[in-house]
Amino acid sequence: MFDKFKGYLPYLGAFLLFIVLSFVYFSPVLEGKKLPQLDNTHAKAMSKELVDFEKQTGKKAMWTNTMFGGMPAYQIKGDASKNVFSYLNKATRFGLPYETVAIVFLYMLGFYLLLLSMKVDHWLCVIGAIAFAFGSYNLIIIIAGHITKTYAIALMAPVIAGVLFAYNRNRFIGGVITAVALGMEIAYNHVQITYYLAFMVGFIVLSRLVYAIKEKAIKPFAHTTGILVIAAMLAVLPNITNLLTTYEYGQESIRGASELTPKEGQKEHSGLDVDYAFGWSYGLHETLTLLMPNVVGGESAGLANSEDAMKHVDPRLKEYVGQSSQYWGGRIFTSGPVYAGALICFLFFIGAFYYKGKERWWLIGITVFSLMLAWGKNFPAFNYFMFYNFPLYNKFRTVEMALVLASMAMPLLGFLGLKTILDKPETLKKDSKWFAIAFALTGGVSLILALFPTSFYSFLSPMEAENFGGMIKQGGENAQMYDLLVSNLIAARQVLLTADAWRSFVFILLGSASIWFFVQGKLQKRYVMWGLALIVFIDLWGVSKRYLNNDDFVSKSKARQELAQSKADKAILKDKDDYYRVFPIYRDPFKDGFTPYWHKSVGGFHGAKLRRYQDVADRYLMNDWQELMKVLQTAQTPGELEEAMENMPALNMMNTKYIIYNPGADPIFNPSYMGNAWFVKNIREVANPDEEIAAIGTTDLRTTAVVEQRFVDKVKGYSTDSVMGQIQLTSYSPDYLIFESNAPQEQFAVFSDVYYDKGWKAYIDGDEVDIIRANYLLRGLMIPEGRHDIEFRFKPQSFVIGQTLAAISSIIILLLIAVAVYMARKNQTN
């Protein structure tokens, strides 16, 4: 019994080590401190209405009105109650702090299990797990608050472990592992990471197909692949609620097609705008950040943060140069580079040259492929083809994210290569030229850039090069000043690259030398492993601490201040109306993730707004924002501001009651807001969506509703001399609105809620009626004469079907897990 337990000790030791390392890295959490994470803060703000509603009623709302005039709640806070994988995800976090410690722990545990499944030496598995977990991108996205992304990345390795286990060892157990790991990965609902993971699995399957053809083993390949397909289906089914509703919503969001005619020169497609999608493209020259983090300056922070860099700046120019960004690559800004590790890059080439297993070519292929995807607009021939032709690819943005594939493939191939050398040192002895080439491609490149940095890089961003170049060409005294400024800026940034180039060179030299001495019989294996572990740890821990360290943590009280009520918030919240909207103009209202915490905002922060809302925002609301800012700066009397607001039909039809121009001041009341609902006298018929959106700006929306041709039959001939009676909101819930109308004649009502026909149903006195789209964005109803109760309920059929399928398939998954555990124990006994 003791001997059996003793055999588990190394695994238990690794498990505890991962927990300890995770807590050490995030040690301030032990003091009760919090890590401010902007996107996570936005998520809390966006979901507050839903959380509060659930606390008050015990019900889960399917819709929220806190952003963009309304959107489905499952895009912000999904209901995972029928998904077994959500419970498994919670269990595998072992109660560790969700937003910090648990993430890094699962990074390490997942990669450790992947290497173990490939029969890599136990302690090499531990080193590899550390190497993967502390890659800079994995830590940078934590401080950014991309929490679901981090967990999706952490589960990529177990998914690949299941796929490889199926092909290499036992197809049934591998299939179960794949189903469970993939199901857990999908449950974190970061579709883009899952999409990239599908590319990696695709490379594996294609690679195995080639080997199957070569070895004339098509039948076993087909059987295993079939089981993996079934595993993928089983992984999807408990997640089907999120997937169905997200797919359905995606068709209506900015990731779907617009009904408007494309602008001249714009290619029609169903997806994001191409410039938006490729906004964060990795520069070709930035690729070397995998080897040296500060190749293009690291992060978008001021040069003043680097004492070493500022030592090389003329004292007269220190203030200006200090304010300039360290980063000079092509992106708008960055929180840091994707750094794989100097020694990891060297080991990657060792794996590429010396490892001869079946994983070699797909690992090389997926690494190159991920680089090509990450280059985005900087590799247009490939990426524009992908954008316009490859299924679903144009639904995603921030293409640099594709480097998560390289960040996993590089250490995996690297440690497979290291295992090859450590197990069979004669492999290197027989053919040492590839070892020299691997050193030249990594250590050699680092040394060259350390010695001759300006021979390869300009150290100026494209915009800086254009602006400074034009000023210098003008000649005169100013030209001399700008020339001096440029030379000092280059000198400061050059220091950052040079320091990291030397740093990488030293780590590669030490690591490669220890391997060489081992092969020559001058160093024992255990010392090599301990030495490499130390190099990997110091290297990656050190770089990651540049971008996420103890100084980033704050006390809980300070963290709460991010969402504290301002003077404007407090004044608005005195209004006891159940439902109106607020327009914050002191920041970009369409990238504002704070206002929804306290109010129902006209704007908001989300990567998948409704396409119709975005169309109206682009055409009207953006201009309204700019116009309000302009009038506030120039208006001499309150009447000028009121007149400006009166001429903002889109803003007013969205029930915008208050405008926040300064959080520290009282809000501005908008006397032109139209309320929750209003009767109109006339219907303006238009032929198509282009005319419909254009008509918003040329129609008195208080008296006339704009209706597109496809809905006209339902309001044909409607017109009245005057509006009589009233309609008002009597009960508000996020996904259930009740209005009361009382009028002496049939009238058409416009409601200030966005039109979304994938779940919203309308009822008059309990009988379902058709919702008519009005004013391009809103809902309209024909209301009979007399007194009536009007209800709007949001119950998407996709959600109901999804929950049923999820519950049934979750039971099947639990049974499969039980069978797999039984078989594994039986095999151990035998």
- HEC string for 22-79: HHHHCHHHHHCCECCCHHHHHHHHHHHHHHHHHHHHCCCCCEECCCCCCEEHHHCCCC
Q: What is the pLDDT, as a whole number, of residue 174?
A: 94
Does residue 478 carry a pLDDT above 80?
Answer: no
User: d(Cα 394, Cα 221) in Å, to the nearest integer?
Assistant: 32
Portion of the chain with pLDDT greater than 70, in percent: 97
Q: What is the pLDDT, as a whole number, of residue 116?
A: 95
CB 799 within 8 A of CB 245: yes
User: d(Cα 583, Cα 653) in Å, to the nearest integer?
Assistant: 13
The CA distances from residue 670 to 157, 632, 654, 675, 830, in Å, are 54, 13, 12, 11, 78
Does residue 539 carry a pLDDT above 80?
Answer: yes
Q: What is the pLDDT, as a whole number, of residue 636?
A: 74
Does residue 88 carry a pLDDT above 70?
Answer: yes
CB 700 within 8 A of CB 625: no
User: d(Cα 139, Cα 135) in Å, to the nearest integer?
Assistant: 7
H or E element that contains 816: helix 797-829
Q: What is the pLDDT, as a whole number, of residue 473?
A: 67
Give CA torsion, residues 498, 503, 504, 505, to 10 deg.
90
User: Residue 247, class by beta-carbon neighbours within 10 Å (0-12 exposed, 13-18 middle, 19+ buried)?
Assistant: middle
Portion of the chain with pLDDT greater than 90, in percent: 71
Q: Which pLDDT tens digit goes with each residue over 132-163?
A: 999 999 999 999 989 999 999 999 999 999 99
| Number of continuous H segments (helices) and E segments (strands) in the chain | 34, 16
Q: What is the pLDDT, as a whole number, of residue 575?
A: 93
User: d(Cα 34, Cα 52) in Å, to the nearest integer?
Assistant: 22
Q: What is the pLDDT, as a whole number, of residue 668?
A: 93
Q: What is the pLDDT, as a whole number, of residue 2?
A: 55
Sequence-separated (6 or more) residues with CB below 8 Å from residue 63: 70, 71, 72, 73, 734, 735, 759, 760, 794
Residue 720 structure tokens: 């009245």
CA-wise closest residue to 602 among 650, 668, 562, 664: 650
Q: What is the pLDDT, as a whole number, of residue 203?
A: 98
CA-wise closest residue to 81 among 62, 97, 94: 62
Question: How would residue 254 be classed by pLDDT, with cut points 50, 70 and 90?
Answer: confident
Q: List strand residue ranges (DSSP E) for 614-661, in order.
A: 656-660
H or E element that contains 531: helix 525-547
Residue 664 structure tokens: 């520290």
User: Which tops the pLDDT comparison, 78 or 497?
Assistant: 497
Task: Work out the number of other CB atoms within 10 angstroms of the CB of residue 258.
Answer: 16
End-to-end CA distance of the chain: 17
Does residue 1 carry a pLDDT above 60?
Answer: no
Question: How would residue 26 be classed by pLDDT, with cut points 50, 70 and 90?
Answer: very high
* pTM of the model as a whole: 0.92
Q: Which pLDDT tens digit goes with each residue over 212-236?
A: 999 999 999 999 999 999 999 999 9
Q: What is the pLDDT, as a whole number, of residue 255?
A: 85
The CA distances from residue 801 to 239, 252, 760, in Å, are 12, 20, 16
User: Residue 312, class by beta-carbon neighbours within 10 Å (0-12 exposed, 13-18 middle, 19+ buried)?
Assistant: middle
Q: What is the pLDDT, as a whole number, of residue 326?
A: 92
Q: What is the pLDDT, as a whole number, of residue 40?
A: 85
Sole residue written with tokens 């197990």: 423
User: d(Cα 767, Cα 765) in Å, to the nearest integer?
Assistant: 6
For residue 168, the one-letter residue type is N
- The region of weakest confidence among 409-423, 454-468, 797-811 is 454-468
CA-wise closest residue to 577 among 762, 731, 736: 731
User: d(Cα 286, Cα 710) in Å, to the nearest integer?
Assistant: 51
Q: Which pLDDT tens digit goes with each residue over 720-771?
A: 777 888 999 999 999 999 999 999 989 999 999 999 999 999 999 999 999 9
The two beta strands, 656-660 and 581-584, are parallel
Q: What is the pLDDT, as a whole number, of residue 267?
A: 66
Residue 271 structure tokens: 């997806």
CB 292 within 8 A of CB 501: yes
Task: Output the average pLDDT for the chain.
Answer: 91
H or E element that contains 514: helix 476-519
Query: What values do phi and psi take at 174, rounded to 5?
Result: -60, -40
Does residue 79 carry a pLDDT above 80?
Answer: no
User: d(Cα 418, Cα 402) in Å, to the nearest integer?
Assistant: 25
